[in-house]
Amino acid sequence: MHEEFYGSTNINVTDFSKPVSSFVDNNTCETDLNEIETCAMIQEKIITYPFTKKVSGVNMVDEIELLRQAIYELKTELCIAKPNTYSWCS
């Protein structure tokens, strides 16, 4: 569908369908009011998304530049065809 546009492109995006889980051991210590320290080993689960996938999209900068150029060319042609008719014709 996007191939119809001038700015059609493939974009690398994060693939959230393929998470990678890992576990990290963290030693945490707490001190209570009696200054007694209690330590515990806590295992934390870390989820990362290291994979990417290509999706089709449109580069909006390229698309806007193309449209600006088209408007300029149409204005120029109108000024040649009907001079002094439009306010932008000089």
Domain ranges of the chain: 2-58
| Sign of the CA dihedral with 69 first, then 62, 4, and 58 last | negative
pLDDT of 35 above 70: yes
- DSSP assignment, residue 6? T
**pTM for this structure?**
0.50
Residue 89 is given by DSSP the state: -
pLDDT (tens digit, 9 = 90+) per residue, 48-57? 999 999 998 8
Partners of 10 in the β-ladder: 56
